[in-house]
Structure 1
Amino acid sequence: MVETPTFENACLQDFSALCRGFLFTSPWRSLATQGCYTTIDTPVQDAAQPQGAFQQQLRRHFADASKQGIAHPIVAGAIPFDVSQPAALFIPESHHLFHRTDLQRTLASPAEPLPQVRRRAAVPDHAGFTRMVADAVSAIRQGDPQKVVLSRLLDIVTEQPVDSAALMQRVIAQNPDSYHFHLPLPEGGALVGASPELLVRKQGRDFHTCPLAGSARRHPQDVQQDRAAGEALMQSAKDRHEHQLVTDAMRATLQPRSRLLSVPAVPSLLTTATLWHLATQIQGDVLDARENALSLACLLHPTPALSGFPHARACQLIQQLEPFDRRLFGGIVGWCDSEGNGEWVVTIRCGTVQGNRVRLFAGAGIVADSHPESEWRETGVKLDTMLRAFGLQ
């Protein structure tokens, strides 16, 4: 029988130990996991269906875990951008819920800097990315698709191995209001990030989602210029169009599965340390009580904020243009308990760490009015979230 230990908040003081399991922080609920009861790498292609094969398998895992003495089992981890690929999910032996303000109070500034960067390389490079955007704009102006999200990577090699817990500590300190995640990966290394975007939160029958689409660089050193950048974003026809494509698609997806659904007609502004975003706070309650946080997450994923619109054609264009496989980048990360509650966020503003190699990811929504050079700069600003942790803005 697996013993489920009781944790006190004193455990939050050992941050490196927290990062040996899955660490997820949120203004709603934060959690840290300990041990692994079983892994689940089955692709989540039918996980959106409460009575589908994946959800039936998950219920069996939960029942078996409970028989082994695991109280209130959860499933946690990450799902790739391409849901036909293996998931990186697991049921931990135990988990501990906490308020993230308690964690943030215990985090001291790391005494040692991260290792020096030996080299970094953009994938694709500037010329390749701008050509990729230009090709996408040409396809969109011909009417298919209306939007596509294109991304790029930044590969970093450091002089010594990177301590992913130390990197995570810096990321949390620099982005205190984001959703933070540190997930040890089956192949070694870790997925680390500070996502600004909630895909779905579910408690009881109620759910909440907040898609982001449309962004502008902030100017934190100049209050007036910063405010003007936010106001310009709200007035941008290009960004409002991009955002509307996302919210319309999410409304159409959620409506058949909801008893009530509220989708504001006008977006609001959301800020991170580096960017203004257009955001829409969507709320509803589920029609079928068998829905859980994972089924809703898989129903929505990937949203047009991560793929484009229409989804199938956008994905074809991504596969045609991007010179790499996104894998977990542009996917989702989070958790769901055996009662159906949970939270999933979009895997952006993130990177993978393995030894002395770090790979960072950033994307931008491309529509008919997009300019290749502007999209290069936008993805650069998004990469800053992780680069600032290395002192490499």
Structure 2
Amino acid sequence: LPAPLPALVAAREADSGRWMEAVRQAIASIRAGALDKVVLARARQLTFAGTIDAGSVLARLREQQPFAYLFAFEQDGRCLIGASPEQLVQKEGETCRSICLAGSARRGATVEEDERLGAWLLSDRKNRQEHQFVVRMISRLFAEVCEAVEMPDGPQLLKLPHIQHLCTSVVGRGCREPSVLRLVERMHPTPALGGTPRERAMETIRALEPLERGWYAAPIGWVDAYGDGEWAVAIRSALLAGSQAFLFAGCGIVADSDPQSEYEETNVKMAPMLSALGVMHHD
């Protein structure tokens, strides 16, 4: 069993009103035609009674998120740790793959509620639009470097313990890029992490987002001597520093977004790390 974690003694977040005002400004910019989508993230700071052991948190993530990409990256006494559901790109020989993940809903408390929420997510215009921006960008990029691109007609549901997402797998055959790192460089940040058009979205993030992302949402993965490898993005994560944990979560903002709904979605996205830190229902 994982070693016990210290007790939570304080929870603080940057001004939620400021974040929702940033979302309102982003929606106004999108409706004015300045850009199509932007991803805005927020942070939450937890303080514990003692030093947080990254190994114990990782063991809990392995138990609770068995199908996610688990990662822990330590440097200078800090550790970025998390369980990401989102593959950025995989390359194996001349085949490359990417999982487009955008559009979210919470899980239901019963089977019936869960199915109802899933059906709503599959048909919701705002979430479908948010998802389609990612699919369009990745399929276009693969088309530039591959002989053929394969993908289904529409998204499926990816159901995780706390949240469900719209999910589309894109496969490129006959990839001409010699290394997966070249694909990472071309793809990051996708519209699932930055927005679209990319440069305008990045400018908006720098102007409006009330935090420095640091390692949050960075590409994380491996590459071998042949240029093959697999990379995910470091979301559903926290930065551990001594007795403190900084949790991060972001949302894709489009013209139909609602600030309160987006805020609630960030809370759902923080749930896996709260659970791994032993803080299940602390609001």
Give the TM-score category using the shorter length: over 0.9
Over 3 Å off, 4+ runs: none
Equivalent in the alignment of 2:74: 184
Cα distance between partner residues in 1 of 2:52 and 2:254: 37
Where in structure 2 are the equivalents of 1:167-206 lying within 5 Å? 167-185=57-75, 187-206=76-95
Kept in 1, the 8 Å contact 2:238–2:247? The answer is yes
Give the letter aligned to residue 231 of structure 1: A
Cα distance between partner residues in 1 of 2:70 and 2:217: 15
Where in structure 2 are the equivalents of 1:267-346 lying within 5 Å? 267-288=155-176, 291-346=178-233
Structure 1 residue 286, shift from structure 2 partner:
4.1
Equivalent in the alignment of 1:225: 113
Kept in 2, the 8 Å contact 1:213–1:242? The answer is yes
Kept in 1, the 8 Å contact 2:143–2:172? The answer is no
Aligned equivalent of 1:122, options 13, 27, 47: 13
Question: Tell me, what secondary structure is at the counterpart of 2:214?
Answer: coil
Question: Tell me, what secondary structure is at the counterpart of 2:70?
Answer: strand
Equivalent in the alignment of 1:33: none
Kept in 2, the 8 Å contact 1:263–1:280? The answer is yes
Kept in 1, the 8 Å contact 2:99–2:170? The answer is yes
Aligned equivalent of 1:209, options 94, 98, 101: 98
Kept in 2, the 8 Å contact 1:182–1:191? The answer is yes
Deviations 1:2-42 (A, max 9, x none): xxxxxxxxxxxxxxxxxxxxxxxxxxxxxxxxxxxxxxxxx
Equivalent in the alignment of 1:375: 262
Question: Tell me, what secondary structure is at the counterpart of 1:280?
Answer: strand
Give the letter aligned to residue 276 of structure 2: A
Deviations 1:79-126 (A, max 9, x none): xxxxxxxxxxxxxxxxxxxxxxxxxxxxxx32x421111212112x22
Where in structure 2 are the equivalents of 1:79-90 lying within 5 Å? none
Give the letter aligned to residue 121 of structure 1: R
Equivalent in the alignment of 2:40: 150
Cα distance between partner residues in 1 of 2:279 and 2:174: 44
Cα distance between partner residues in 2 of 1:192 and 1:391: 15
Give the letter aligned to residue 122 of structure 1: E
Structure 1 residue 285, shift from structure 2 partner:
2.5
Cα distance between partner residues in 2 of 1:141 and 1:179: 35
Matched, 1:386 2:276: no
Cα distance between partner residues in 1 of 2:255 and 2:72: 36
Aligned equivalent of 2:122, options 234, 241, 262: 234
Kept in 1, the 8 Å contact 2:19–2:210? The answer is no
Cα distance between partner residues in 2 of 1:287 and 1:387: 39
Cα distance between partner residues in 2 of 1:233 and 1:384: 19
Taking only aligned residues, the RMSD between alpha carbons, in angstroms, comes to 1.2
Cα distance between partner residues in 2 of 1:129 and 1:354: 24
Aligned equivalent of 2:50, options 155, 160, 183: 160
Deviations 1:355-379 (A, max 9, x none): 1111111000000110000000000
Give the letter aligned to residue 5 of structure 2: L
Kept in 1, the 8 Å contact 2:38–2:195? The answer is yes
Structure 1 residue 229, shift from structure 2 partner:
0.5
Cα distance between partner residues in 1 of 2:131 and 2:169: 12
Normalising by structure 1, we get a TM-score of: 0.70
Matched, 1:250 2:250: no
Cα distance between partner residues in 1 of 2:133 and 2:153: 12
Give the letter aligned to residue 72 of structure 2: H
Task: State the identity as a percent.
Answer: 38
- What 5-or-longer segments of structure 2 have no aligned partner? none
Kept in 1, the 8 Å contact 2:138–2:170? The answer is no
Give the letter aligned to residue 270 of structure 1: L
Kept in 2, the 8 Å contact 1:200–1:293? The answer is yes
Kept in 2, the 8 Å contact 1:332–1:346? The answer is yes
Q: How many residues align?
A: 280
- What 5-or-longer segments of structure 1 have no aligned partner? 1-108
Structure 1 residue 183, shift from structure 2 partner:
1.5
> For the pair shown, which has the larger CA radius of gyration, 1 or 2?
1
